[in-house]
Amino acid sequence: MAAPATPRRPHRVVAAVVGTAGILAAVAGCGLLGGSSNDAKSTDKLERTNLTIGAMTILDSAPVQLAALKGYFKDEGLDVKLETVTGAATAIPKLLSGDLQFTYGAYVPVFQAQAKGTGDFKFVADSYQTADNIFMIMIPKDSTIKDPKDLAGKKIATNTKNSITDLLAKSAMETAGVDISKIDWAEIAFPDMGAALADHRVDAAVILEPYVTQAERSSGAVPILDTSMGPTKEFPISGYTATADFVKNNPKTTEAVRRALIRASEAARDRPVLEDAVVQYAKIDKQVAQLVRIGTYPTSLDHNRLQRTVDLMAKYNLVQKDKINVDTMMVDSAKANK
């Protein structure tokens, strides 16, 4: 039986669920910071202070945007320039060339690059995890699609093919009984998906917040399926990546970046703070920012969460599981402090 179309819910905040005891344990065990980073900053000189970090204008990328807007990088002695990227796949060559030292991006393309031997990468910090109604398959308001099963054979927009976007969509559609072998995928940037639906250039689009709410308000786009369901419920989306060589050669700088990002992830739990930041960096209306649904901003990397990504990728033949060792791809904070 086909899954029913996902009902809209009132806006809500799904805060990162990390108890006070867990935060204190992380601070004690990893040398990470829960409050102001000035007190915990190393007295040793950073290996380098001028950094260019890849970022996106989506909710997922809020911590790195907040760290720049709120001066958290500066508090760590870092002079950071943010460079807008379309995703990890396009940012990886810039990491390898040294044009970027760190980048925000989905885990999927990083795991793919690691498995192919394109480079050796380290995850420096986690960024975003899904929640209900934040990553939706949407259709035009006058669409003939009435049920998720009607998506079979349709042209559906994704920001990048074989990315976390269509990976989540494929899993959700299969769970809903859709024949995904007949989907025609079209690459369209998230900010342009609402217009693509309104103009009927695509039959549906896999859109994430804040563009879900924006598409609803601007063109009357309608959600037909939530991609965060079943096997993909509360799914890890993205994090911050560097090359293994950079981390090895710049351990104190890496740790300073981690502290700033974790501080920003904690700040992102404050709804008004997050809304103000999103209005600035995503260039959306204040009213839209007040309505968007928000996922979780984890404050630590977790083996089990990352392994879920690898397992789902393997299911859809995006990576060979034996080519990935999740543990070796996570930065060891204790080693970075030595």
pLDDT in tens, 245-266: 999 999 999 999 999 999 999 9
Judge if 179 and 224 occupy the same domain.
yes
Q: What is the pLDDT of residue 22?
A: 37
**Residue 257 amino acid letter:** V
- The better pLDDT of the pair 184, 336 is held by 184
- Find out whether the peptide bond into 210 is cis, omega within 30 degrees of 0: yes
Binning pLDDT at 50, 70 and 90, where does residue 215 land?
A: very high
Judge if 117 and 238 occupy the same domain.
yes
Average pLDDT for 89-99: 95
Binning pLDDT at 50, 70 and 90, where does residue 137 land?
A: very high
**Residue 52 amino acid letter:** T
pLDDT in tens, 30-52: 433 334 444 445 446 999 999 99
Q: Which of 159, 223, 226 is nearest to 191 (CA)?
A: 159
d(CA 265, CA 300): 10
Out of 41-45, 85-89, 236-240, the most confident range is 236-240
With respect to residue 198, please indicate whether it lies within any of the assigned structural domains: yes
What residues make up the domain containing 91?
A: 20-28+37-130+234-336
Per DSSP, the three-state class of 167 is helix
pTM comes to 0.80
C-beta of residue 127 within 8 angstroms of C-beta of residue 154? no
With respect to residue 8, please indicate whether it lies within any of the assigned structural domains: no
Judge if 211 and 81 occupy the same domain.
no
Q: What is the pLDDT of residue 333?
A: 59
Judge if 293 and 309 occupy the same domain.
yes
Lowest mean pLDDT among 21-30, 92-101, 247-256, 298-307: 21-30
Judge if 238 and 126 occupy the same domain.
yes
d(CA 196, CA 67): 32
d(CA 187, CA 156): 9
Provide the 8-state DSSP code for 14. -
Q: Which of 171, 180, 174 is nearest to 228 (CA)?
A: 171
d(CA 145, CA 164): 24
pLDDT in tens, 201-211: 999 999 988 89
Q: What is the pLDDT of residue 182?
A: 87
Q: What is the pLDDT of residue 37?
A: 42
CATH code, domain carrying 328: 3.40.190.10
Distance (Å) of CA 158 to CA 185, 207, 291, 314: 7, 8, 23, 20
The H or E element spanning position 150 is none
**Phi then psi for 123, rounded to 5 degrees?**
-90, 125
Lowest mean pLDDT among 36-45, 52-61, 131-140, 294-303: 36-45
Last residue of a domain, one of 208, 232, 256: 232
d(CA 269, CA 143): 36
With respect to residue 11, please indicate whether it lies within any of the assigned structural domains: no
With respect to residue 12, please indicate whether it lies within any of the assigned structural domains: no
Per DSSP, the three-state class of 260 is helix
**Residue 262 amino acid letter:** I
Whether the pLDDT of residue 5 is over 50: the answer is no
Q: How many domains does the chain have?
A: 2
d(CA 203, CA 138): 9
Whether the pLDDT of residue 236 is over 70: the answer is yes
Q: What is the pLDDT of residue 44?
A: 66
d(CA 78, CA 48): 8
With respect to residue 4, please indicate whether it lies within any of the assigned structural domains: no
Average pLDDT, the chain: 86
Lowest mean pLDDT among 29-43, 50-64, 74-88: 29-43
Per DSSP, the three-state class of 33 is coil
Judge if 252 and 105 occupy the same domain.
yes
Whether the pLDDT of residue 169 is over 70: the answer is yes
Q: Which of 15, 104, 13 is nearest to 52 (CA)?
A: 104
- The better pLDDT of the pair 287, 113 is held by 113
d(CA 193, CA 212): 9
Binning pLDDT at 50, 70 and 90, where does residue 289 land?
A: confident
**Residue 33 amino acid letter:** L
Strand pairing partners for 13? 294
Judge if 224 and 258 occupy the same domain.
no
Judge if 222 and 252 occupy the same domain.
no
